[in-house]
Amino acid sequence: MRNFLLRVIVNAIALAATAYLLPGIEVKDNSIGTLLIVGFIFGVINAIVKPIIIILSCPLVLLSLGLFLLVINGLMLLITEELAGGRLTIDGFWWAVLGGIVMGLIGMVLESALGIKDDEEEKENEKD
């Protein structure tokens, strides 16, 4: 649960930075509450929908040597836009793909700085 809350905060920070950097992505109000709500929605989408989409599109991911994962990240951002109720605005598919790349990079840096590990990594470390 702690990791999920930290990931929501990381998603909110990454979303704020992405909206600042990319003119095609906008967060309504840019308030902390709005960013946390959209970060929560994005976290739930990534936790539930993304693994299913990755499994279903496994042949495309393998065929593209993993580049299709960038498209999947963009799709997760577009799904978040639809569920956010006007709090997040994305101007098109390619802005979503670019936003997914930027959010992924920022999130990766923040997660490594905060020491957030996946559950599988924690379980492997506990075994040692």
Cα–Cα distance measured from residue 92 to residue 85, given in angstroms and rounded to the nearest whole number: 17
Q: Encode pLDDT of 94-107 as tens digits.
A: 999 999 999 999 99
Q: Encode pLDDT of 61-116 as tens digits.
A: 999 999 999 999 999 999 999 999 889 999 999 999 999 999 999 999 998 888 87
pLDDT for 2 equals 76
Task: Report the candidate in 6, 15, 75, 3 with the shortest Cα–Cα distance to residue 39.
Answer: 15
Crossing angle of helices 32-56/68-83, nearest 10°? Answer: 130
Residue 47, burial from CB neighbour count under 10 angstroms (0-12, 13-18, 19+) = exposed
The rounded percent of the chain whose pLDDT value lies above 70 is 91
Cα–Cα distance measured from residue 124 to residue 67, given in angstroms and rounded to the nearest whole number: 28
Flag whether pLDDT at 120 surpasses 70.
Answer: no
pLDDT for 40 equals 94
> Where are the chain's structural domains?
2-127
pLDDT band at 122 (very low <50, low <70, confident <90, very high): low
Provide the mean pLDDT of the chain. 89
Cα–Cα distance measured from residue 96 to residue 42, given in angstroms and rounded to the nearest whole number: 13
